[in-house]
A = this chain, B = another copy of it.
């Protein structure tokens, strides 16, 4: 059994990105620049945005965080998005979600210029991804594909069962792995809350991607010998000690890992890969790789 070390893989990829950024600078190019809009004072959002800034710094990219009050109107936010869309110095723009309830998230997402949509949430990028065109792929599915690629895991002709049909993980990874691509060319089964006989489907899978957000849902009796298991779940479980918690994935790691050929740990699996994907997309944006 091999543990898919997302932390080490992400570190290696970050190094490559840092070199690419340095190469751009050495050739007199503009430093890649990521802008993040943070609305309100949500603690988790604050943490995410801070780590994105830190990641940028580590690979030599510029970053800007625009903080706006939770009381802002949708129009004011749209204006800010538009301003950044037209700012040639900024290559990538993310609007940290969730937004306050009075703002229509989808409207904001669709206001971001697709060429700067490094989160890959704009439906234009989703549609391009599904049809196999160059696109920004969102962080989690992109991180999974990178991890499979890094470990040279064969996917062509394999049966991949995806559990969970969210717009940010399940649907895009199902579409990505069904593409005529490497990694890709999988037979993909997309399962969800309405799926009957999930166990029997999982037992047929060469690759299982668990992305339903239920701690330790996938147990050993659902996994066949030699499977590849990718755990996207990450739930905080209180330890009993005040303010202490442990992170638990969607996979019962201790028992499932004994049957796997490859498995991701939680934490240290898919998580660190997602952070690198944003940097990768920002680099692509700076190089105008997707939209020319």
A63-71, A80-88, A126-134, A249-257: which lies at the interface = A126-134
Distance of A171 Cα from B127 Cα, bound (Å): 11
Distance of A126 Cα from B191 Cα, bound (Å): 21
Contacts of A180 in B (CB 8 A): 165, 192, 194
Among A127, A174, A180: residue with most chain B CB under 10 A: A127
Contact with B along A182-219 (1 / 0, CB 8 A): 00011111111011100001000000000000000000
Shortest Cβ gap from A197 to chain B (Å): 8
Q: Is B187 a contact of A187 with CB atoms below 8 Å?
A: no
Contacts of A201 in B (CB 8 A): 187
- Give the residues from 104 to 155 in chain A that come closer than 8 angstroms, CB to CB, to chain B: 106, 122-133
Among A132, A159, A171, A194: residue with most chain B CB under 10 A: A194
- Give the residues from 146 to 181 in chain A that come closer than 8 angstroms, CB to CB, to chain B: 156-157, 159, 165, 167, 171, 174-175, 178-180
Distance of A201 Cα from B157 Cα, bound (Å): 13
Do A190 and B178 form a contact, CB below 8 Å, given A123-B127, A126-B130, A127-B126?
Answer: yes
Q: Is B189 a contact of A130 with CB atoms below 8 Å?
A: no
Shortest Cβ gap from A193 to chain B (Å): 8
Contacts of A171 in B (CB 8 A): 130-131, 175, 178
Q: Is B126 a contact of A106 with CB atoms below 8 Å?
A: no
- Give the residues from 40 to 90 in chain A that come closer than 8 angstroms, CB to CB, to chain B: none
Q: Is B167 a contact of A131 with CB atoms below 8 Å?
A: yes
- Mark A residues whose CB is within 8 Å of B: 106, 122-133, 156-157, 159, 165, 167, 171, 174-175, 178-180, 185-192, 194-196, 201
13 CB contacts below 8 A, A to B, read: A122-B127, A130-B167, A131-B167, A159-B196, A165-B180, A171-B175, A178-B190, A180-B192, A186-B194, A187-B189, A187-B192, A187-B196, A188-B189
